[in-house]
Amino acid sequence: MSPSSYRDVADHLRQGIHEGVYPRGSLLPNEDRLAADLGVHRAVVNKALNVLKAEGLLYVHMGVGTYVHRLPPILRDAAVRHGRTHREEGGVRGSLAAELSHLDWALTSDNTVGPGQPPPDVAEVLGVDAATESVIVRARRMRAEGVPIQIVTSYIPRTIADGTPIAEPDPGVGGISSSRLEELGHAQAAIQEDVLVRPPSADEARFLRMSPDQRVFDIFHAGLTASGRAVKVSVYVMPTHQWHLRYRYPVDPA
């Protein structure tokens, strides 16, 4: 190879990662070695590595070197992940657990559950009071194989959740979205998701191990009953490099 620019070097290294020349989780050769192997100046390699770090393919372990990110992007298939069969598969606690089990990856989660005040936009969708503790808040910081992958905060009206497993740390097999809400007579018949791409906040960046030039998906997810009532809102914050979003829907919804 005789690359002519840092973009060529970035393309070459990116292809090498995808093809397994530089395996997931492996330590890259240092910049001097890469520069010699590719026949370019070290500054060109440095600039190319910065491009791949911003894409989330690489990260720096201070004092050790530059590593290939351990986890490839995770498929989040909205067309199937909200069904009860999927969410209860193998006795797991929800869609993400089911998705990761297919990859043989371990899921861990730091959870807090309890009454709280919803943000104004959430309160408006749920039809609850933003000035009081009108919802049960389920806040989760989630990791796959020890790698932080998403922050999820769910809000369920207390008129639905109080005194039920939804207000408990472990809501049971399948989680709340399809299983517990259906059992309580609030089955979700439709899902609406609004997706934004934005920089992470300082707190989000710390947990998700992101740099300021990386971006997150901010997904505002509402679950609606057949009558159109919103019974749950979840806000997902997910590194764009860590997730592949897939949507499928009828061409003619009517």
What band does 19 get if pLDDT is binned at 50, 70 and 90? very high
User: What pLDDT is attached to residue 84?
Assistant: 61
User: What pLDDT is attached to residue 92?
Assistant: 54
User: What pLDDT is attached to residue 94?
Assistant: 66
Which of the two residues, 249 and 128, has the higher pLDDT score? 128
Two tokens, residue 72 = 């490839």
The helix-helix angle for 42-54 and 6-18 (nearest 10°) equals 60
Which of the two residues, 135 and 253, has the higher pLDDT score? 135
User: What pLDDT is attached to residue 212?
Assistant: 84
Beta bridge partner(s), residue 230:
224
User: What pLDDT is attached to residue 2?
Assistant: 54
Beta bridge partner(s), residue 220:
194, 235
Which of the two residues, 184 and 79, has the higher pLDDT score? 184
What band does 178 get if pLDDT is binned at 50, 70 and 90? low
> Which residue shows structure tokens 């959740």?
161
User: What pLDDT is attached to residue 120?
Assistant: 98
Task: Please state, as a whole number, how many other Cβ atoms lie within 10 Å of the Cβ of residue 29.
Answer: 15
Q: Tell me which of 27-36, 68-77, 83-92, 158-167 is least confident.
A: 83-92
> Which residue shows structure tokens 């399948």?
174
Q: What percentage of the chain has pLDDT greater than the value 70?
A: 92
Which of the two residues, 155 and 183, has the higher pLDDT score? 155
Which 3-state string (H, E, C) describes 138-206?
EEEEEEECCEEEEEEEEEEEHHHHCCCHHHCCCCCCCCHHHHHHHHCCCCCCEEEEEEEEECCCHHHHH
The domain segmentation of the chain, as residue ranges, is: 6-68, 74-246
pLDDT in tens, 83-116: 666 555 655 556 787 788 878 888 899 999 999 9
Beta bridge partner(s), residue 223:
191, 232
pLDDT in tens, 204-244: 999 999 988 899 999 999 999 999 999 999 999 999 999 99
Question: Is-same-fold flag (6-68; 74-246)?
Answer: no
Two tokens, residue 83 = 């069904």
Give the CATH number of domain 74-246.
Answer: 3.40.1410.10
DSSP the chain: ----SHHHHHHHHHHHHHTTSS-TTPBPPPHHHHHHHHTS-HHHHHHHHHHHHHTTSEEEETTTEEEE-SSPPEEEETTTTTSHHHHTGGG-SSHHHHHHHHTT--EEEEEEEEEEPPPHHHHHHHT--TTTT-EEEEEEEEEETTEEEEEEEEEEEHHHHTTSGGGSS---TT-IIIIIHHHTT----EEEEEEEEEPPPHHHHHHHT--TT--EEEEEEEEE-TTS-EEEEEEEEEEGGGEEEE----SS--
Query: Is residue 201 over pLDDT 90?
Result: yes
Closest CA to 217 of 202, 234, 199, 203: 199
What is the C-alpha R_g of the chain? Answer: 21
User: What pLDDT is attached to residue 221?
Assistant: 96
Which of the two residues, 198 and 1, has the higher pLDDT score? 198
For domain 6-68, which CATH number applies: 1.10.1740.10, 1.20.970.10, 1.10.10.10, 3.30.360.10?
1.10.10.10
Question: What distance in Å separates the CA atoms of residue 36 and residue 42, rounded to the nearest whole number?
Answer: 8
